[in-house]
Amino acid sequence: MLIPFSMKNCFQLLCNLKVPAAGFKNIVKSGLILQSISNDVYHNLAVEDWIHDHMNLEGKPVLFLWRNSPSVVIGRHQNPWQECNLNLMREEGVKLARRRSGGGTVYHDIGNINLTFFTTKKKYDRMENLKLVVRALKAVQPHLDVQATERFDLLLDGQFKISGTASKIGRNAAYHHCTLLCSTDGTFLSSLLKSPYQGIRSNATASTPALVRNLMEKDPTLTCEVVINAVATEYAASHQIDNHIHLINPTDETVFPGINSKARELQTWEWIYGKTPKFSVDTSFTVLHEQSHLEIKVFIDVKNGRIEVCNIEAPDHWLPLEICDQLNSSFIGSKFCPIETTVLTSILHRTYPGDDELHSKWNILCEKIKGIM
Amino acid sequence: MTLQEVRSLRAEVGSLCAISAPSAPCSLRPWGLRAGAFWVLRTGPALLSVRKFTEKHEWVTTENGIGTVGISNFAQEALGDVVYCSLPEVGTKLNKQKEFGALESVKAASELYSPLSGEVTEISKALAENPGLVNKSCYEDGFSRGRSGGLVFPSLSEFFTVYCDPHSQRLWHSQ
């Protein structure tokens, strides 16, 4: 049963550190179920941060349900260049987000449900949460073959992954979140989560690719709405609370003071790309010159998303060494980013005005380099 | 047993970062980092008070104002295989009880809290390249050194001593 959240209720529920216990007993017994009205991945991730930082979860665990418009979400210590096709994402308008929990890369769209289980650190138990989800699904479809694995995945028919898990453990609180594929675009998912970038050397945590399937492909009654209600019902039963899903607006500062600044931080280049663990790119590409193919070697070291070392090696007869050196040094300190590279190219042009042949070569090189960013 | 003994450690120990006290006008005396690392052992209660533990399973040792920080054997066992270690940069100023990094294990990112205030002067390259050292060697590799400041950390008295912690006692005797 969906109940729109009144402001007054929100404050009492969400600022429970300040309100006397008596004020809660009427509303929150020993748990809370929230669902976001937003499909913005950054705002929804900000809700997780906010609950983790501000809510007292002792005896009052929270279940948060959310869905996003097309987005790729990478884990805290991952490398987006290694994990997904950034060029395709830019073309298709798919957002990239880095979450604060660990784990691998996932694709979200409106056919995927995200579930976040907030508890105190002591009550953190991923397997228990997954068993709850399995019970919920079986309540809708008793013959469904769904099982949790040791890796905390959920497998359908013993082979298809329908859910992946990640979590974050803080000082006193922890959260475990997982996906649940109901009706996601599987073809799009596969193409987005395949990185075309070669030669990346990094110790970032890597994803474990898996064969996925949607619940709706197995059983058309398992729509997102049905599954959300089933999970909420099972959560309510397990925690002995009322089966009420409280809708929340993740941009409402009166309910979640400070949340918009959390959402903004999650959208910054420094967080999304800058938090990538140090990595190096060792690759090459060819350029056409007078009917022959010249090999250009590229060695780039990237730290905090910025180029620390840049060695682009081109044959001297095509691009004089000192010009090449100039190109290399101009990259140092700039973001490993195609937009920034475009800006750099135009700055370089101005250092050698009128030299059209050189400009054309620089343009060719920079287009190729942008292709690896 | 001798009062002071330097041994290279092979069992399950690894430290995470060393923190210096706020600076005092003392000459720098960085603790030499050798392959395999080492610590100073003493017998009796004096020995056991060298390593102090917080209730959140971070530990710290100090010498000449240089602190070395890590996580306990209990913590690394609870975490499981560590796959990534996110440590602060050299020069970062840390505040006691504030988050300074994270460990990732089995898809869970666990925050690390600094037991001391000070400035990071060295971090273990070994740990950055091989985060599994947190499991294999939680008291040795993977630390950063602090600058000698000649100050006694006022908060040391708040920590549990090694003597009180049954896990570290067991560890001590296993050497």
Mean pLDDT to the nearest integer, A179-206: 95
The reply to whether residue B84 touches residue A204, judged by beta carbons under 8 angstroms, is: yes
pLDDT of A96 above 90? yes
| Residue limits of CATH 3.30.390.50 in chain A | 279-372
pLDDT tens-digit map of A76-88: 999 999 999 999 9
Q: Which residue of B has its CA nearest to A172?
A: B56
Is the CB of residue A61 less than 8 Å away from at least one CB of chain B? no
CA angle, B115 then B142 then B39, to 5°: 80
Separation of alpha carbons A194 and A76, rounded Å: 19
CB of A171 closer than 8 Å to CB of B56: yes
User: What pLDDT, on the 0 to 100 scale, is given for residue A217?
Assistant: 96
Q: Give yes or no for residue A247 having a pLDDT over 60.
A: yes
Domain count, chain B: 1
Say if B23 falls within a structural domain: no
Asked if A102's CB is within 8 angstroms of B107's CB, the reply is yes
What angle do the packed helices A321-331 and A356-371 form, to 10 degrees?
Answer: 50
Q: In which band, very low, low, confident or very high, does the pLDDT at A353 lie, cut at 50, 70 and 90? A: confident
Q: Which of B106, B109, B113 sits opposite A76 (nearest CB)?
A: B109
What percent of chain B lies above the pLDDT cut of 70?
Answer: 44
Question: What is the pLDDT at residue A329?
Answer: 93
Is residue B10 assigned to a domain?
A: no
Task: Specify the pairing of strand B99-105 against strand B108-113.
Answer: antiparallel
Asked whether the predicted pLDDT for residue A225 surpasses 50, the reply is yes
* Confidence grade of residue A30 (pLDDT, cut at 50, 70, 90): confident
Is B42 in contact with B3 (CB distance < 8 Å)? yes
Encoded amino acid at A328, one letter: N
Averaged pLDDT for residues A288-294:
88
Q: What is the mean pLDDT of residues A58-83?
A: 97
What confidence tens digit (pLDDT) does each residue in B87-122 have?
888 888 877 777 888 888 877 898 888 777 777 777
Q: What is the pLDDT at residue B160? A: 28
- Measured between CB atoms, which of B102, B107, B113 is closest to A166? B107
Answer whether A204 touches B (CB < 8 Å): yes
A165 Cβ under 8 Å from any chain B Cβ: yes
Q: What is the pLDDT of residues A167-176, one digit of tens each?
A: 999 888 999 9
Q: Is the CB of B109 less than 8 angstroms away from the CB of A171?
A: no
Confidence of residue B154 (pLDDT cuts 50, 70, 90): very low
Tokens of A88: 């395709």
Quote ipTM for the complex.
0.73
**Residue A291: its pLDDT value, please?**
86
Q: pLDDT averaged over chain A?
A: 91
| pLDDT above 90: residue B131 | no
Q: What is the pLDDT of residues A5-17, one digit of tens each?
A: 444 454 455 544 4
Average pLDDT over residues A230-258: 96
Q: Is the pLDDT of residue A115 over 80?
A: yes
**What is the rounded distance in angstroms from the CA atom of residue A343 to the CA atom of residue A75?**
30
d(CA B104, CA A75): 10
Highest mean pLDDT among A328-337, B7-16, B23-32, B70-79: A328-337
Better-predicted residue by pLDDT, A136 or A8: A136
The CATH number that domain A32-273 falls under is 3.30.930.10
The CATH number corresponding to A279-372 among 3.40.50.300, 2.170.120.20, 3.40.1160.10, 3.30.390.50 equals 3.30.390.50
Checking if the pLDDT of A256 tops 70, the result is yes
Nearest to B113 among A75, A103, A171 (CB): A171
pTM: 0.79
Host domain of residue B74: 51-170
More confident call, A33 vs B123? A33
Containing H/E element for A113?
strand A112-120
Contact A100 B113 (CB under 8 A): no
pLDDT above 80: residue B9? no
Strand B15-20 relative to strand B118-123: parallel, antiparallel, unpaired? antiparallel
pLDDT at residue A137 tops 50: yes
Residue B154 belongs to a domain with what CATH number?
2.40.50.100
Count of CB atoms within 10 A of residue A208's CB? 13
Report which of residues A4 and A259 the model is more confident about.
A259
Between these two residues, A327 and A180, which has the higher pLDDT value?
A180
Domain membership of residue B29 (yes or no) is: no
CA distances from B154 to A46, B21, B55, B116 (A): 37, 10, 17, 9
Q: What is the distance between the alpha carbons of residues A290 and A18, in angstroms, rounded to a whole number?
A: 75
- Cα B165–B170–B175 angle (5° rounding)? 130
B107 closest CB neighbour out of A103, A171, A277? A103
Residues above pLDDT 70, as percent of chain A: 92
Choose between A219 and B85: higher pLDDT.
A219
A227 in Cβ contact with A140 (< 8 Å):
yes
Residue of chain A whose Cα is closest to the Cα of B114: A171
* pLDDT the model gives residue A46: 98
In this prediction, what percent of chain A has a pLDDT beyond 90?
A: 81
